[in-house]
A and B are shown apart, each in its own frame.
Chain A
């Protein structure tokens, strides 16, 4: 039973003085999105703090594709999903192999490859987008989902390689040496020693790439334009084309779009926090 001294109460009050604004600041845009999504049209635009008749009707409209802007909702949701998963998987493959070569196999030029990766990591994404658009056009990949997948792999890989290398460097080399003395081939070393030990980092890194691809707007917006090919995020942006779009439907769709990344992040939070900060803080 904690003793409520004046001192401890003021200390707690001071913390709440920080905590409550932080909470409000964080939650207000999300809360607003939610109440907009459960409002009827008139009530949403009346500036209330809680809808007059909260309804799930907007979600019904979204899921049944009952509006012009939503006519390909499920297709676009599927596109987002496919692109995110593909980007996550390919990034994982590219990053684990590269990190293995650099960290365990100590390949010559590994430092250079790492520097190349870091260089890409540090280029502001919006700046790379312009030449990337032209490049994809030159490769004939515009409007092809592969252009977005590979662009996301390009953007996510550097950080993933970095994190995996950091984590991998912490594994003792005696393991590799023991395996080699037992006659392991490089592939066996990769498969049987490296991969099992790297699973937590791989989960963090794969999830990171997946979320990055799902949440991406700029590249999706530039590289894909067919209504049946675009991701859900780009479809949301299309609502803005007119002044009298059904904003409550937009928010409902947006809410659906925002749920998976939040859910996935929280599901893998344990891996994410450790994995990602390991790349930043050299302990």
Chain B
């Protein structure tokens, strides 16, 4: 009796074999990416965390006055630059969906900062800011007869300029994202609102913002994560100077790396994880729906 019962599953075998062929190929197709992930993400992250295991690294890190300065710079950078950038992106998204010919032409030019490499453009700005022969101070002198400030030698000015540089570079991308968001709002809603006599502000508050709110917040969070990793805007403009006063966490890790202090470099990154990981988790929840 039991023999007959156990014989049945074998009859079903051919069907499961063809299923597993597709499953097999499915897994094979994922292998290239898995390899990349294991070899170049999992291993480095694991190895990095392992390098940061000594408490002594953290003592060294916290004893370094540059670290605290960098942490503060980073927080200022995040809070100011990102919100400024996203608000401007929101405003400009309303500007760029208008259908004038010159606005369309402008939107083509507007992408340039994002598309071209950072190093020539940031260095171009660095030269504009040169206190002796830069264009900006020359114009100031010609207009007022006064010497312009030594832009990159003042830590506050230098950090602010780095923030402006970061905004210059990343604003087009976020504006584009928000434009896409705006385009998905049906225009009938605006027309109906106009018929009802709504002002522009009311239209924004009751139509645009509710529709855009989720995208705006998601974009802000993602922008925060990426801004944490913006090495170029600070390094190429100020080099972390003057006197290591404009370092942010992104440039700090590299600074320790180049001083051959790998353990402290990794410690500086691990210290930032409590800030990054919740943001990453939040983003993953948002996007993997």
Contact = CB atoms under 8 A, between A and B. Distances in A.
A273 interface: yes
Interface string A246-274: 01001101110110011001100100010
A277 B180 contact: yes
A280 B29 contact: no
Interface residues of B, number: 97
Interface stretch (A44-52, A60-68, A69-77, A197-205): A44-52
B128 A32 contact: yes
Contact of A97 (B30, B236, B250): B30
B56 to A, nearest CB: 18
Given A22-B106, A48-B138, A133-B257, A128 B121 contact: no
Interface string B111-136: 11101111111111101100011110
Interface in B202-255: 215, 219, 222, 225-226, 228-232, 235-236, 249-251, 253-254
A261 B25 contact: no
A38 interface: no
A154 B41 CA distance: 7
A-side binding surface: helix, strand, loop or mixed?
Answer: helix
A262 B120 CA distance: 13
B47 interface: yes
Contact of A46 (B133, B219, B226, B228): B133
B135 A97 contact: no
B23 interface: yes
Contact of B266 (A117, A131, A247, A269): A131
B53 interface: no
A150 B133 CA distance: 41
B201 interface: no
A122 B228 contact: no
Contacts of B108: 266, 269
B198 interface: no
Given A19-B106, A98-B32, A280-B180, A45 B133 contact: yes
A36 B117 contact: no
B192 to A, nearest CB: 21
Contacts of B92: 18, 22
A113 B34 contact: yes
A123 B222 CA distance: 10
A107 B45 contact: no
Interface in B77-110: 91-92, 95, 98, 100, 102-103, 106, 108-110
A163 B109 CA distance: 25
A4 interface: no
Interface in A185-216: 185-187, 190, 211, 214-215
Interface residues of A, number: 98
Contact of B133 (A47, A49, A222): A47
Nearest to A236: B119
Contacts of B100: 15
Residue in A134, A185, A211, A266 with the greatest tally of chain B CB atoms within 10 Å: A134
Contact of A30 (B91, B112, B132, B176): B112
A116 B254 CA distance: 25
Contacts, number: 286
Given A33-B120, A130-B253, A151-B40, A107 B110 contact: no
Nearest to A258: B116
Contacts of A128: 41, 44-45
Given A128-B44, A135-B40, A26 B113 contact: yes
A32 B176 CA distance: 25
B280 A217 contact: no
A280 B175 CA distance: 12
A48 B128 CA distance: 11
A248 to B, nearest CB: 10
Given A122-B225, A131-B48, A154-B36, A261 B26 contact: no
B22 A186 contact: yes
A283 B33 contact: no
A281 B215 contact: yes
A27 B112 contact: yes
B254 A233 contact: no
Interface in A15-44: 15, 18-19, 22-23, 25-30, 32-33, 36
B276 interface: yes
Nearest to B253: A130
6 contacts: A47-B139, A94-B33, A105-B22, A105-B23, A125-B231, A240-B123
Given A26-B168, A98-B30, A130-B265, 18 more contacts: A26-B110, A28-B128, A29-B168, A32-B125, A32-B127, A95-B33, A101-B25, A122-B283, A126-B228, A126-B230, A127-B249, A151-B40, A162-B287, A186-B22, A236-B120, A254-B120, A254-B123, A280-B219
Chain A to chain B: the 7 pairs with minimum beta-carbon distance, closest first = A124-B229, A47-B138, A254-B120, A131-B48, A107-B26, A186-B25, A105-B26
